Amino acid sequence: MTIKRRQFLRTCGLTTLATQIPGFTAQGKPPNTIRKPPRLQVGDTVGLIAPAGIVDTKDIEAAHKSITQLGLKVKLGAHILDHYGYLAGKDADRADDLNSMFSDHSIKAIIAMRGGWGCNRILPLLNYSLIRSHPKILMGYSDITTLLLAINARSHLITFHGPVATSTWNQFTVDYFQRILFNGEAVTMQNLNPSEVRVEIIAPGKARGKLVGGNLSVLSAMVGSPYLPSWNKSILFVEEIGEDVYRIDRMLTQLKTAGILNQIAGFIFGQCTNCSLGDEPSFTLIQVLQDHILPLGIPAWYGSMIGHIKDKFTLPIGVEVEINADVGIIQMLEAAVSLV
């Protein structure tokens, strides 16, 4: 055996060994490293899609105005005005719009028009390897939670829980959007006026971890699927709208029995908009949160600017943060976008 042949076989053996060791690829590099999308710049083009509920031309006109006022251009998904029952088109077409926006080199960010229902139906139709190889900003909330979590989990890409295209783009919302997505700042998020949106401490303290979350009912509907990220030592945030308190209790119980709550390092409930006690005798929402969260022994609070409200934070899913439940602060520990 020649020296060159021995060296070749030795190299092959090390490469094979590297592929067999958990945490390494054939190139000897850690797999599944999180990717940050490039930051936005004035003049960039944003793709608008309707992956869930139906939109109309008035919605598009309003969204176009809001986005262009930020110095951005707009490109519409091919099926954005489709109707299929209560969905904005057939599953394959809505998925194709999202896949196409990621493969389109002229698009720098993708914003969902609205939530509703339907994103869960298209998860098996998304091209996660394509999405990972073309990292871009993807943003929305409510039903868009499904896409944000699935793409973070399967494509290992930072995604953004923030305004949809038809949201109220007021100064509060725009400020966080621009600082995080244009400037690449690691911002500290704190309620604008604590006297109007009061922070209610569930358990005091500070914690660090990866920020993960979204709409509670959408998240709970994904439990048991292969489209959720790791919860280990994460900071879980949730929000909700139009649910009776007993339903919040039911969904948190589902997260608890699924083993999710026992893994997290911190908990934030944003806003529960138009949530009621229902017709029967009930716990208050805070009592329900205390029942589920206090035994975990982790920092937690209710009342952050997250949810179906006008003033919204832009929350990067998958970014390391530190929370302070005593004052209701979320501090990013790193930029969420690439500045290169």
Among candidate residues 66, 79, 134, 142, the one labeled active-site is 142
Write the DSSP assignment of 58-75 as a string of letters. Answer: HHHHHHHHHHHTTT-EEE
At 258, list the tokens: 């699924």
Q: Is 292 one of the annotated active-site residues of the chain?
A: no
DSSP SS3 for 122: helix
**Cβ(177)–Cβ(336) under 8 Å?**
no
CA distance 107 to 325: 38
Helix (H) / strand (E) element for 251: namely: helix 245-257
- Residues 213, 240: contact at Cβ < 8 Å? no
How many other C-beta atoms can be found within 10 angstroms of the C-beta atom of residue 4?
8
Residue 28 — φ and ψ, nearest 5°?
A: 75, 20
How far, in Å, are 203, 250, 325 from residue 300 at the CA level?
A: 5, 19, 5
**Number of residues that this document lists for the chain:** 340
- For this structure, is 240 an active site residue? no
Q: How far apart, in whole angstroms, are the C-alpha atoms of residue 213 and residue 254?
A: 15
**Among all chains, which residue has been given the structure tokens 């598009």?**
60
**Measured distance CA(311)–CA(28) in Å, rounded:** 45
Q: Which of 79, 134, 292, 308 is catalytic?
A: 308
Active site residue 105: no
Q: Tokens 């966080």 belong to which residue?
A: 176
3-state secondary structure at position 179: helix
What are the residues whose beta carbons fall under 8 Å from the beta carbon of 68, sequence distance 6 or more?
74
| Catalytic residue of the set 239, 243, 292, 304 | 239
| DSSP 8-state symbol, 312 | -
Just list the catalytic residues: 142, 239, 308
